[in-house]
Amino acid sequence: MNFTFSARIFPAALIAASLLLAGCKDAADPGKPAAAAASTPVSVAAIAAEAKGFSVGSAMSARTVYVFFDAQCPHCTALWEAARPLKSQARFVWIPVGMLNASSTAQGATLLAAKDPVAAMDQHEASMTAKGGGISAASDIEAQKADVAKNTELLTRFGFASIPTIVGNHAETGALVTQEGSMPTAALAGLLGLKVPAP
């Protein structure tokens, strides 16, 4: 359902909406072709079959939520924290892409190659929050760099241009839901049809 707000009547709503939709976009590069329009319909099945990521949350959950993220994206850091209280209700699969800079691909590949990707992601996001730039890239991660490149191509093929990008099925209706940009825990729970955790 789409709503149109009048800037004169709802300035607070517009500010709140802009905060909810906070995300990073690929910076325009004159030597890089513009992202093509979506050539593939967004599909949870396609993501499950093609994307390489790591899981957080209940491994046995019937609910799976896919999150495309860039390791250099501060909005992705915010979403990592916002999703934490919901991990008992769903399995979140974090899929690294390389959109923002050279460190994006190397750090994403390092996370994929980690023996414990969740612990590595916690360390990385703590460093990002502290303005430390994230984890150092590992060596011998060429296969994982190729996986990050394929993840990025899949995101682009779907027509998404911002990260984080969330894709899943609503827990109650089963409808496909997508979101470009970070959001707080309560809004994320609402998007996915999950229960808002008690404070």
3-state helix/strand/coil string of 118-162: HHHHHHHHHHHHCCCCCCCCCCCCHHHHHHHHHHHHHHHHCCCCE
- 99 located within any domain: yes
pLDDT of 17 over the 70 cut: no
- 20 located within any domain: no
- Average pLDDT of every residue of the chain: 85
Q: What does residue 183 show for φ and ψ, rounded to 5 degrees?
A: -155, 155
- 198 located within any domain: no
> Residue range 20-44: average pLDDT?
57
CATH code of residue 144: 3.40.30.10
pTM (predicted TM-score): 0.83
The pLDDT assigned to 22 comes to: 61
- 21 located within any domain: no
- 1 located within any domain: no
Q: 10: pLDDT confidence band, cut at 50, 70 and 90?
A: very low
- 167 located within any domain: yes
pLDDT of 23 over the 80 cut: no
User: Which residue carries 């707080």 as its tokens?
Assistant: 184
Domains in the chain: how many in total?
1
Q: 39: pLDDT confidence band, cut at 50, 70 and 90?
A: confident
Q: Strand pairing partners for 163? A: 24
Q: Which sign does the torsion angle of CA 119, 125, 129, 132 carry?
A: positive
The residue segments making up the domain with residue 150 are 36-192
- 172 located within any domain: yes
- 3 located within any domain: no
Q: What is the pLDDT of residues 45-79, one digit of tens each?
A: 999 999 999 999 888 888 999 999 999 999 999 99
